[in-house]
Amino acid sequence: MTFSTVIQNIIKIMSKYWDVFLIKGVSVTMALAAITVFFGAIIGALLAIMKMSPLGILRAIVTAFVEVIRGTPLLLQLYIGYFIVPLMVPALEIGTFASIAVALVINSAAYVSEVIRSGIQAVDIGQTEAARSLGLSKGQTMTKVILPQAVKNILPALGNEFVTIIKETSLASTFFVGDLMTSYLTVKGQTYLAFESLIIVGVLYFVLTFVLSKLVGAYERRLKQSD
């Protein structure tokens, strides 16, 4: 197989299956990643707050949950979300895409919770003491003083989480949810051109992650300039 033959095959594949890769594959991948990061951030914030709770039992439960999620493979969690959870709770038979999205959200929430907790704890303790001395409650101190300062530490990390999730969604192709890797499997099965199809998918993943990484980097530099 020559280089020119590979290029010609790539052009043929893209001319015929561009909608499979660009419209369906990219859109599903980005949608899955966006849903994961959005809800993962919300749940992760709740987990972070609970992990800093004065209630020892609550901290222990959240810590155990986070450690289990972080200590087991994502693919295993996807299998549990797809096969086991609907069997245990029939009402959760919500479709393949939703099942995979739920598993990804839970996985992301465990990691994001640590990011948010670290961001909050990175704020100088003197800020909390000053707010409390002014008569602010614990809730007011957290929402009006601590969180606004912690956001500078948290948002860039969430941007990097988005980039990571885009790559991790490739595991969802195991369940044929329509993401980029699913598009690769579909086109490969129809054309028998596995190498060329893989190159196309690899380039698309690189473009997505490279652009987002640069945007996150630019945002981080802007935050540093504003300090």
Tens digit of pLDDT at every position of the chain (227 positions): 688 898 898 999 988 888 888 888 899 999 999 999 999 999 998 998 888 877 778 889 999 999 999 999 999 999 988 888 777 766 655 678 888 898 999 999 999 998 888 887 777 777 777 777 777 777 777 777 777 777 777 888 888 889 999 999 999 989 988 899 999 999 998 888 999 999 999 999 999 999 999 988 888 788 777 65
79-112 CB burial, b ≥16 within 10 A, e <16:
eebbeebeeeeeeeeeeebebbbbbbbbbbbbbb
CB 200 within 8 A of CB 21: yes
CA distance 198 to 185: 9
**In the chain, what are the domains?**
3-226 (1.10.3720.10)
What is the Cβ-side half-sphere exposure of residue 93, based on CA atoms within 13 angstroms?
Answer: 4
CA distance 81 to 92: 10
**pTM, whole model, 2 decimals?**
0.86
CB 184 within 8 A of CB 135: no
